[in-house]
Amino acid sequence: MFDTTNKRSYSAGHFQLDIDGEETTAYLKTVDGGYVKATTIDEPIGPYNLRVKHTSVTDIDPISFEFGLAGSHHVLDWIRQSWKKQWSRRNGQITHADFNMFRTFEHEFTQALITETTFPALDAGSKEAAYLKVKLQPEGVAHRKPTHASRIRPKVGPKQKMWVPSAFRLKIDGIDGLEWVSKIESFTIKQGVKWLKPGDEKYRAHGQVEPTKIEFPNLVCSMSLQYADAVLKWYEDAVVIGQSDDISQRNGSIEFLDPTRTKVLFRLKLSEVGIFHLAMEQSTANAEAIKKIKFQLFVGEMDLDGSLGMDRG
């Protein structure tokens, strides 16, 4: 299991995100959102075709950030709990800094729930670093300029470079050849939320955010036709012939590997996986390209395997 006793936070070169007041331990690439927004109303006044505009109900935009996995055990566990409907709300602060790391703007949020977790596209030909994107919905926000000069303290662990989108492995029970899957398109797990604003709270940027349903996405995968015999048979049995779901659905996982592809950094477990579409990727006459198929899978549930994962470095 991921360690949840010491909550941590995230930073990049020019801003820092503290969660529950803990020090920065991992790399934060981007931060966006988290401000109050008012709804505007345009009302006609009297018989003279006059109109008056004014503000009405306010809402809070969600906060999004992309982070690396080094030192991210507690956030991964926060995500995992959300997927299992064991919701927990967190408080935090985004601190913006100038080129010399001096604090220039502080942005607090309270009682935030995770609403989206987006995995990057996995591509065997990619040369980029991988980051996980998380979206939060806070119940309250506040912002201010710092009253004294101080610097943020970013700490980028050496393990940050270990997660790359080119090193992965798809496994489905009873389906051979999936080690030749060369691409899995980006996918997002969504946690629905609903604002509750009873009484006079409907006129303020305060209220209560309650979780609703979890939506697990489909997976879109590509692989060489040469090694796709088992996938083609699975598709034929499950879709073309119409085999019953309890026979055609399987369990599996996506393993995220280190750059040497010898160590599993962490694993995304997949349950109730079924295939529902398959097609040949677009081909061009006389082109020197490998023939590939693209197939789509639905997934009943996903879970992060906490027995593996990157250390705190």
pLDDT in tens, 234-289: 999 999 998 877 788 999 999 999 888 888 888 999 999 999 999 998 766 555 56
User: What is the model's pLDDT at position 308?
Assistant: 43
202 has pLDDT over 60: no
221 has pLDDT over 50: yes
pLDDT level of residue 17 (50, 70, 90 thresholds): confident
27 has pLDDT over 60: yes
User: What is the model's pLDDT at position 192?
Assistant: 94
User: What is the model's pLDDT at position 70?
Assistant: 63
The number of residues in the chain equals: 313
142: CB partners within 8 A, 6+ apart? 107, 108
Match 């119409």 to its residue by tokens.
242
Residue 134 contacts residue 80 (beta carbons within 8 Å)? no
* CA atoms of 250 and 240, how far apart (whole Å): 17
* Residue-number span of the structural domain to which 254 is assigned: 9-305
Question: β-strand 187-196 against 9-11: which pairing, if any?
Answer: unpaired
User: Residue 35: which of 68, 67, 59 has the closest Cα?
Assistant: 59
230 has pLDDT over 70: yes
DSSP-derived letter for residue 202 is: G
Query: What's the half-sphere exposure (Cβ side, CA atoms, 13 Å) at 26?
Result: 29
pLDDT level of residue 203 (50, 70, 90 thresholds): very low
Indicate the pTM of the whole model: 0.84
**Is residue 208 one of the residues assigned to a domain?**
yes
Instruction: Decide which of 265 and 137 is more confident.
Output: 137
**Is residue 18 one of the residues assigned to a domain?**
yes
User: Residue 151: which of 101, 93, 99 has the closest Cα?
Assistant: 101
12 has pLDDT over 60: no
User: What is the model's pLDDT at position 283?
Assistant: 67
Mean pLDDT along residues 28-35: 86
Mean pLDDT along residues 202-221: 82
**Is residue 126 one of the residues assigned to a domain?**
yes
Residue 209 contacts residue 111 (beta carbons within 8 Å)? yes
Q: Is the dihedral of CA 2, 81, 93, 129 positive or negative?
A: positive
291: CB partners within 8 A, 6+ apart? 224, 225, 226, 280, 281, 283
**Is residue 263 one of the residues assigned to a domain?**
yes
136 burial type by CB count under 10 A (0-12 exposed, 13-18 middle, 19+ buried): buried
* CA atoms of 294 and 225, how far apart (whole Å): 9
User: What is the model's pLDDT at position 158?
Assistant: 53
User: What is the model's pLDDT at position 26?
Assistant: 55
User: What is the model's pLDDT at position 286?
Assistant: 54
User: What is the model's pLDDT at position 5?
Assistant: 46
DSSP3 helix / strand / coil % (the chain, rounded to 5): 15, 50, 35
309 has pLDDT over 50: no
* CA atoms of 83 and 96, how far apart (whole Å): 30
pLDDT level of residue 206 (50, 70, 90 thresholds): low
DSSP-derived letter for residue 108 is: E
**Is residue 30 one of the residues assigned to a domain?**
yes
At 4, list the tokens: 């949840």
Alpha-carbon Rg for the chain, nearest whole angstrom, is 23
**Is residue 242 one of the residues assigned to a domain?**
yes
Residue 259 contacts residue 167 (beta carbons within 8 Å)? yes
**Is residue 172 one of the residues assigned to a domain?**
yes
Mean pLDDT along residues 120-133: 91
* CA atoms of 15 and 102, how far apart (whole Å): 10
39 has pLDDT over 70: yes
**Is residue 250 one of the residues assigned to a domain?**
yes
312 has pLDDT over 50: no
- CA distances 164 to 20, 119, 202, 268, Å, are 28, 12, 45, 15
Domain count, the chain: 1
pLDDT level of residue 19 (50, 70, 90 thresholds): confident
